[in-house]
Amino acid sequence: MLNRIYNSLTDKKQLAKKSFAVLVDPDKVNDQKMAQLIDLAVAARVDYFLVGGSLVISNYLDECVQFIKRSCNIPVILFPGSPTQVSKYADALLYLSLISGRNAELLIGQHVVSAPYVKQSGLEIMSTGYMVIDGGAPTTVSYISNATPLPADKNEIAMCTAMAGEMLGMKLIYMDAGSGAKRPITESMIDKVSQCISVPLIIGGGITDPEKAYLNCKAGADVIVVGNAIEKDENLIREMAEAVHSVTVRV
């Protein structure tokens, strides 16, 4: 199995280089919008596109991924809200298990049902311990997952959850306050978790300004994901990418 994308993540982590990922929700874009986003992302040296959402209502997933692949060399990583969101045209797939919740379907059930289909896709599969952290208000992911988010001030629970995920063999940990979260994940939680795991740590949900992205990286995030704020102002791509890439050494 190919490990190209995962190796890029671990190589950057070893060099203390931070990555910036733009999250694209296929329901909210079209070819014209994608063309603009791609131009800005290429100019800003964005590291990855994440494509997916808790709900995907339109049929634009395959087209969206193909459009990105035709237009630039930025790798496309699927961030699926359900097993139907698999596109063979992407480079890799975050194989998410919701380890912060106790919903057996999202821990393992849906994986069992879709395993042959996912394998046949030929995608690089990156097992990911997905942790939904309380972001101050119900988000689509917290509702859809039917699982209680991890309390925002319980750093020790987050730490133990991430450690358990890593020891179970997960290759990435993704802590997410949910799209459009009122309160993004705190630096103290990121610090606590990042010190106890050695796999790359992805952080997203409610990050709306470059300063927050910078502080998250300083605290130990390896990849920053921004979706909502860029949907509102795509010029943020450049500022966010600059902020993330300016962090090279962890404090």
Torsion of CA 64, 69, 75, 79, to 10 degrees: 20
Q: Can you tell me which of 61, 74, 181, 201 binds ligand 1GP, judged by CB under 6 A?
A: 181
Q: Which residue has the tokens 């808790």?
A: 54
Q: How many CA atoms lie within 13 A of 161 on its CB side?
A: 27
d(C-alpha 251, C-alpha 247), whole Å: 10
- 117 by Cβ neighbours in 10 Å (0-12 / 13-18 / 19+) ranks as exposed
Question: By C-beta, is 3 or 27 nearer to ligand 1GP?
Answer: 27
176 near ligand 1GP, rule: CB under 6 A = yes
Here the tokens at position 177 are: 């306050």
115: Cβ contacts below 8 Å, ≥ 6 apart: none
Q: Would you say the C-alpha torsion 186, 188, 191, 193 has a positive or negative sign?
A: negative
d(C-alpha 109, C-alpha 111), whole Å: 5
Give how many residues touch ligand 1GP by CB under 6 A. 15
d(C-alpha 65, C-alpha 68), whole Å: 5
179 near ligand 1GP, rule: CB under 6 A = yes
Binding mask 10-29 for ligand 1GP (x = CB under 6 A): -------------x------
Question: By C-beta, is 110 or 145 nearer to ligand 1GP?
Answer: 145
Least distance from ligand 1GP to the Cβ atom of residue 1, Å: 26
Q: Can you tell me which of 204, 221, 236, 243 binds ligand 1GP, judged by CB under 6 A?
A: 204
Q: What are the φ and ψ backbone dihedral angles of 203, each rounded to 5 degrees? A: -125, 135
Question: By C-beta, is 97 or 179 nearer to ligand 1GP?
Answer: 179
Binding mask 134-153 for ligand 1GP (x = CB under 6 A): -------x------------
Least distance from ligand 1GP to the Cβ atom of residue 26, Å: 14
Question: By C-beta, is 3 or 242 nearer to ligand 1GP?
Answer: 242
222 near ligand 1GP, rule: CB under 6 A = no
Q: Which of 211, 141, 145 is nearest to 176 (CA)?
A: 141
Least distance from ligand 1GP to the Cβ atom of residue 94, Å: 11
CB 1 within 8 A of CB 235: no
Least distance from ligand 1GP to the Cβ atom of residue 208, Å: 8
Nearest-CB residue for ligand 1GP: 204
159 near ligand 1GP, rule: CB under 6 A = no
Catalog residues that contact ligand 1GP under the rule CB under 6 A.
23, 141, 176, 179-181, 204-207, 225-229
